Structure 1
Amino acid sequence: MSNFTRSILITGGTSGLGLCAAAEIAKQHPEYQVMVASRKDPDNSAAAINKKLGQSNVQYMPLDLGHLENVRSFVKTWGERNFPPIAALLLNAGLQNPGSVRYTADGIESTFGVNHVGHALLFYLLQPYLADDARIVVVASGTHDPAQKTGLPDAKYTSGEELAHPSDATVNNPGRQRYATSKLCNIMWTYALQRRLARLANKKWTVAAFDPGLMPGTGLARDAGVILRFVWNRVLPSLVPLLRLLASPNTHLPEESGASLAWLALDEKERSTSGLYYEGRKPIKSSVDSYDEKNQEELWSWTVKFLAADDKELHDFEVVA
């Protein structure tokens, strides 16, 4: 049994926003076990954070959100290792595929599959391991909101089934629209989850959605062309102050947004709020479409029915706790 009092789990925590949040949380709480979970960890991120801080509370576990059996295996391993209760679950990992449609190992459109479906299953299965006052933070994006004019095609929610298995009518939709729509789904799912958390009598679980803003230098452009990747990774990070003036004031270095994500997950006052959408550290309104309760419930219902392996899971996933 470890000496750590609580666990923090961050998906996509080996690079970019998630890595910066993990480092900030580990620094503030050396008594917490901080677990970074991602498909790969080529830079030994956990060891790098531990070395920098002179601590040993950050660990890495492999997790492939695009492979549902791997998500189940991850949670099984988590339970077997008897980790401390999860105080904060940060659903941060994200995929943006700008090209033609791709599919996960389970045959789901990959952007929707990783950004929404894999994360939903992870939450459903991890419920027994959450602390009684757990905080869930879903990393979304301002790109979900057409009113923000981010330059991405407008997000468009049709149905969970259509997004998972595009028909002939939608299979050629732009990859960047799929990304914006997946972020809309993140927020819709957050609101649907909040309604269920509000009914819990024996838990004080809260949930929030988070927009980290435009963050040049993160891995989100890893599937873009060579020139765009170079500009994104090497040029734009040094121009953040100018981008705040010319593009959006909600432009940050990953370290800045990572600190905000850590704050939203752990700040005692903010942890007590639930069902809000944050732009950095400020709660704001999300898009008009995100408040469509009928679509929220359609997405929730499709997700539960698609993921549940049997009647028990169907009940447990739907009811929550």
Structure 2
Amino acid sequence: MIYLVHEYRRLPAGIDAVAYNPGFVPGTGLARNAGPVSRFAMRRIMPMMALTPFATSRGAAGRYLADVVLGAIQAPTGSYVDRGRADRSSRESYDPRREGELWEAAERFTAAYAAKADTFSGDVTSDAPR
């Protein structure tokens, strides 16, 4: 999604979309399907990482996300927010050819769903009294 974030500028006015990276957030069940040693480390040891700049606590990640949603962090459509600030995403994410290809692929992948939704909404309104 980070490679697609800049293409969100194509969305209609009033629809805002940003990419949000909370950083490494231990204690969220990320390793729930890992082996027992990894699960133990993620549950018992890695939460201490949130006391360092290398990880984000669950509470801080939630506050950062709320700040983006509520506008406390300025992030216009197409922005990449890393923890608590709008920032530049990776150099690769600015490749216009890749961005365009991803947008076109997303449109292809969702076209059937969109057509069904249009058909469904048309069926509902076609029987409605005028």
- Structure with the bigger RCO (C-alpha within 8 Å, sep 6+) is 2
Distance between the aligned counterparts of 1:288 and 1:268, measured in 2? Answer: 26
Matching of residue 218 in structure 1 with residue 28 in structure 2: yes
Where does residue 45 of structure 2 map in the other structure?
235
Change (3 A) 1:270 1:250: farther
SS at match of 1:278: strand
Structure 2: runs of 5+ lacking an equivalent: 119-130
Equivalent of residue 294 in structure 1, options 82, 87, 97: 97
Matching of residue 263 in structure 1 with residue 73 in structure 2: no
Change (3 A) 1:308 1:213: same
The alpha carbon displacement at 1:274 in A equals: 2.2
Distance between the aligned counterparts of 2:112 and 2:15, measured in 1? Answer: 25
TM-score (normalised: structure 1): 0.34
Distance between the aligned counterparts of 1:262 and 1:239, measured in 2? Answer: 22
Where does residue 188 of structure 1 map in the other structure?
3
The alpha carbon displacement at 1:250 in A equals: 4.4
TM-score (normalised: structure 2): 0.77
Distance between the aligned counterparts of 1:283 and 1:305, measured in 2? Answer: 30
Name the structure with the higher strand share: 1
Change (3 A) 1:205 1:191: same
Larger radius of gyration: 2
The alpha carbon displacement at 1:260 in A equals: 0.5
Matching of residue 252 in structure 1 with residue 68 in structure 2: no
Change (3 A) 1:305 1:266: same
Equivalent residue letter for 1:220: L
* Preserved contact between residue 74 and residue 86 of structure 2 (Cα < 8 Å): no
Deviations 1:185-240 (A, max 9, x none): x112221122x13xx3xx32222111101111112112211110111012221343
Distance between the aligned counterparts of 1:192 and 1:304, measured in 2? Answer: 12
Identical aligned residues as a percent: 33
Deviations 1:124-175 (A, max 9, x none): xxxxxxxxxxxxxxxxxxxxxxxxxxxxxxxxxxxxxxxxxxxxxxxxxxxx
Where does residue 308 of structure 1 map in the other structure?
111
